[in-house]
Amino acid sequence: MGRLRIFASRLLGFFHKRHLDENLDGELRAHLQLLAEENLRRGMTPQEARYAARREFGGVEQTKELYREQRGLPFLDTLLQDLRFALRTLAKRPGFATVAILTLALGIGATTAVFSVVDRLLFRSLPYPHDERLVSFGLLAPIERNEFMLGASYVDFRKEPGPFEAVASMAPGSADCDVTEENPIRLNCGVVEQTFLPTLGVQPILGRNFMPEEDRPNAPRVALLSYSLWKSRFGGDPGILRKTLSLDGSATRIIGVLPSSFEMPTLSPADILVPQALDEEQQHKSAPGAVLRTFARLKPGSNVSQAIAGLQPWFEQAIQGAPPEFRKEIHLSVRMLRDRQVQDVRLASWILLGSVFAVLLVACTNVANLLLVRATGRERELAVRAALGASRARLVRQALTESLLLGLLGGATGCWVAALLLRLFVSIAPEGIPRLLQANLDLRVVVFTFGVAVASAIIFGVAPALNRPAPEVLSGKQTNSPARSLLRQILVSAQIAISLVLLAGAGLLLRSLWNLENVPTGIDAEKVLTETIALGNYRYPNAAEQIAFFTELEGRLKRLPGVSAVGVSDSLPPAGQMRSTIFAAIEVAGRPLLAEGTGGMVGWRAVTPDYFSALSIPIVQGRGFQQEDRLPSENPIVLSETLARALLPNENPIGKQLRLFRMQGPWRTVVGVAADVKNNGLAAGSDPEFYLPWKNDPVVSFSSANVILRTRMNSKAVSAWMRGETAGLDPTLPVKIETMSQRVGRLADGPRFNAVLLSLFAGMGVLLAAIGIYGVVGFLVAQQTREIGVRMALGATPQNILKMVLSNVARWTIGGAALGLLGAWFCARLLESLLFEVRAHDPFLLGLALCVLLAVAFLAAWIPARRAMRVDPMVALRYE
């Protein structure tokens, strides 16, 4: 309380300086006059009386000074004074200020941009209250890398949710659903249990959550709208709760609106939430039941490992219900929700953040170097100030204020750089970096930026600030402080080391990207167009209608000019979204099934006869499919080479009978063997696969499919025709047309993003290091001008001088490079899991990075070193 009052009064004093000064003046003048009058009365002469009064009073100016210190905030006063001084100094040397601020802006801007992206992945809390207690839990199997549960066991589990406070399930992914009224649109529907929102802790901003009785089979249909759908389709109508929406043809009552911050825990898009309406009896009857994504809220104070322990008994029991061949390969898993969301990008995020901090460090080192250079020029000024009574603390404070000002100016400029870089990131980023589009420079990020700016200011400001002016500087003699030169060389060595690490990392990622882009895919992607179409369940309710649509489209496209092949398939290589089964479920006629284990995954697709020619997949044995194979009586199958070898080793597979999916369905005859294609993305190893003809078969679904079209015509023109033909059949269908090369290229987007960013940072690091070397060598040459002059006068050739300067540079460059090699060796290991077909310790790449860096260092040193060669001994000896 008392302290607060004193502060308030001091603050007041700080802002009313002039008025208070006048007051004090008046008071002191009155005092002196009273003293003088008293002295007059004692019989002094007027002049004597005034002098005596002064003596008695003491120093008037000292009194004022003491009074002011007591009155205002001396700390703030000094700060303002230092700031004014720092601004003046910077303005006097605009070149220095510009270089320093731009260097910092580059470092801070890059750091800010990367931070604004990874912050949402690694640090910022999820949009759910107490998100540290939200987990994804369930089973993990080779086919599924995210937790799931099966309906039959979940409906029992949720009655006794073991170690959890609450559990909720949802259908995996998001289902398409259609608004079938005026302005029909296709929406993403989240199909969720009624406990879903309460478990996440999400409260609708309007209306209410689902009731338990609405989450039952055959209940009246209800839905919750996302905030953006509410705004875009209903104009944010507050009376929305009285409305119904025709969803997939049935009237659905809107019971609530979700908050704008809402997102699905799987990060899948959701415009609308509808109840899951899980039928318990049905799930038991069709055990193991539907696949569900399951989430839970931990009890307060409990953690993931406790939850795993608590689930163990349930898991032991649940695994008994799993097909026997799966048992060994199924695991129990409980993960923090955030870990589930960022699993793929966590490592890359940390690496990018680390490398951008390295760039910042290089930038700071550069500014520290610049400040050291300037400190040499200002030694005399500092010495004078010290001689006039400035304490060492005062001088350090002044120097730090200047650094701080530079840091803050750099930070402010950096925000602007960050905005530009962020736009670049978003434009080159692959799909599937969670929350990238939300990344922006909000308050939190700006606070971070200024934190970084201040931290940088301290890092680059401390060394120059602690610089003690030598008294002999006052004599006017220029001194060579060997300690400072050494410090600057160490700083440059550090820059070289950091840049080398960045360069080596970028090299590895670029090499890995090149490998990835040139991996043989087994298909010829040139001159191939693909069209992806998803038919709505409402307009195309059964397989017959869906097939009819695609058959008609296939026919129409075939008639286009310049088209050599048109195929249809439910999935496309080399992405990994094909259907799959396990090897153990394929039965060869006359042979027992695999006794133990799954035997690994086997992929499969349903394709039309022209699929193979459209993608140029060679048939190595037998034949591909024919039109006749689409008759209901025919059951042909085409195997990939790998699958044929695995199923029928050392046998001719043609004509052999197979039964798929664990003895369901008919015996199928192997009619051909196709060459292997990449089918699990570019990096992962491929699975064996087989092909079924595209026809009405209960195991195939036709609601969405890809049309593949090979043409020698201009792809733009053909894609316009494709669009036209599709619209001719059904103008409401959303269509996505791409070239096959684009599709394949997209698979390398993630690695490309990482490689481009790391290369960008490495480039920045090397550039900054080059500037650093240039500056230091230039400075050393300037300092040694006299020495060089003497040497030349004594007969040294310009070559000798060049050698002298460069050998000096070489010493600390090589020192830094050695350190950098060591660092690169260790850091490469972190990159290992991001690399494709390149060893983390590839000696060629490391050597290349070293050569590039040494070449740049040499060039940066050579330019100023040449100046040393041209020194005129006569001028040099008169230097100073």
Positions in the binding site for another protein (CB under 8 A): 2, 5-6, 9-10, 23-24, 26-28, 30-31, 33-35, 37-38, 56-60, 62-63, 66-67, 69-71
Nearer to another protein by Cβ, of 62 and 833: the residue is: 62
Tell me how far apart the alpha carbons of residues 622 and 191 are, in angstroms, rounded to a whole number.
45
Nearer to another protein by Cβ, of 41 and 870: the residue is: 41
Write out the E strands in 742-796.
none
Write down the residue that tokens 């080159």 correspond to: 428
Write down the residue that tokens 């307009």 correspond to: 539
Tell me how far apart the alpha carbons of residues 703 and 545 are, in angstroms, rounded to a whole number.
9
Q: How far is the CB of 11 from another protein (least distance, A)?
A: 11
Q: How far is the CB of 397 from another protein (least distance, A)?
A: 24
Q: How far is the CB of 458 from another protein (least distance, A)?
A: 33
**End-to-end CA, the chain:** 61
Is 625 strand, coil or helix?
Answer: coil
Nearer to another protein by Cβ, of 54 and 539: the residue is: 54
Closest CA to 568 of 542, 513, 530, 534: 530
Tell me how far apart the alpha carbons of residues 800 and 792 are, in angstroms, rounded to a whole number.
9
Nearer to another protein by Cβ, of 63 and 303: the residue is: 63
Q: How far is the CB of 206 from another protein (least distance, A)?
A: 54
Nearer to another protein by Cβ, of 65 and 651: the residue is: 65
Tell me how far apart the alpha carbons of residues 570 and 585 are, in angstroms, rounded to a whole number.
21
Cβ–Cβ < 8 Å for 568, 676:
no
Q: How far is the CB of 2 from another protein (least distance, A)?
A: 6
Virtual CA dihedral for 437, 443, 444, 450, nearest 10 degrees?
Answer: 120
Nearer to another protein by Cβ, of 60 and 814: the residue is: 60
Cis bond upstream, residue 574 (ω within 30): yes
Q: How far is CA 299 from CA 130, 132, 166, 567, in A?
A: 11, 11, 8, 53
Nearer to another protein by Cβ, of 57 and 227: the residue is: 57
Q: How far is the CB of 418 from another protein (least distance, A)?
A: 45
Tell me how far apart the alpha carbons of residues 752 and 515 are, in angstroms, rounded to a whole number.
11
Nearer to another protein by Cβ, of 70 and 475: the residue is: 70
Tell me how far apart the alpha carbons of residues 854 and 860 are, in angstroms, rounded to a whole number.
10
For residue 113, count CB atoms less than 10 angstroms from its CB and return exposed for 0-12, middle for 13-18, buried for 19 or more: buried
Q: How far is the CB of 79 from another protein (least distance, A)?
A: 21
Is 554 strand, coil or helix?
Answer: helix
Is 571 strand, coil or helix?
Answer: coil
Q: How far is the CB of 81 from another protein (least distance, A)?
A: 21
Cβ–Cβ < 8 Å for 295, 134:
yes
Q: How far is the CB of 24 from another protein (least distance, A)?
A: 7
Q: How far is the CB of 758 from another protein (least distance, A)?
A: 58
Residue 538: partners with Cβ closer than 8 Å, 6 or more residues away:
178, 180, 248, 249
Q: How far is the CB of 56 from another protein (least distance, A)?
A: 6
Nearer to another protein by Cβ, of 50 and 746: the residue is: 50
CA atoms within 13 A on the CB side of 609: 12
Tell me how far apart the alpha carbons of residues 465 and 482 are, in angstroms, rounded to a whole number.
17
Nearer to another protein by Cβ, of 49 and 386: the residue is: 49
Q: How far is the CB of 438 from another protein (least distance, A)?
A: 50
Nearer to another protein by Cβ, of 36 and 189: the residue is: 36
Cβ–Cβ < 8 Å for 410, 449:
no
Tell me how far apart the alpha carbons of residues 200 and 164 are, in angstroms, rounded to a whole number.
13
The amino acid present at 752, given as its one-letter code, is R
Cβ–Cβ < 8 Å for 690, 602:
yes
3-class secondary structure per residue, 290-305: CEEEEEEEECCCCCHH
The amino acid present at 408, given as its one-letter code, is L
Q: How far is CA 628 from CA 93, 634, 767, in A?
A: 84, 8, 65
Nearer to another protein by Cβ, of 25 and 596: the residue is: 25
The values of phi and psi at residue 600, to 5°, are 90, 175
Q: How far is the CB of 65 from another protein (least distance, A)?
A: 9
Nearer to another protein by Cβ, of 24 and 322: the residue is: 24
CA atoms within 13 A on the CB side of 806: 19
Q: How far is the CB of 63 from another protein (least distance, A)?
A: 3
Q: How far is the CB of 43 from another protein (least distance, A)?
A: 18
3-class secondary structure per residue, 622-657: ECCCCHHHHCCCCCEEEEEHHHHHHHCCCCCCCCCE
Q: How far is the CB of 478 from another protein (least distance, A)?
A: 45
Nearer to another protein by Cβ, of 11 and 717: the residue is: 11
Nearer to another protein by Cβ, of 10 and 394: the residue is: 10
Helix, strand, coil percentages for the chain (3-state, nearest 5) = 55, 15, 30
Nearer to another protein by Cβ, of 27 and 651: the residue is: 27
Cβ–Cβ < 8 Å for 750, 349:
no
Which DSSP symbol is given to 779?
A: H
DSSP string, 797-834: -HHHHHHHHHHHHHHHHHHHHHHHHHHHHHHHHHHGGG
Nearer to another protein by Cβ, of 35 and 105: the residue is: 35
Cβ–Cβ < 8 Å for 177, 272:
yes
Nearer to another protein by Cβ, of 71 and 293: the residue is: 71
Q: Vertex 732, ends 727 and 737: CA angle to 5°? A: 55
Q: How far is the CB of 1 from another protein (least distance, A)?
A: 10
The values of phi and psi at residue 192, to 5°, are -130, 160
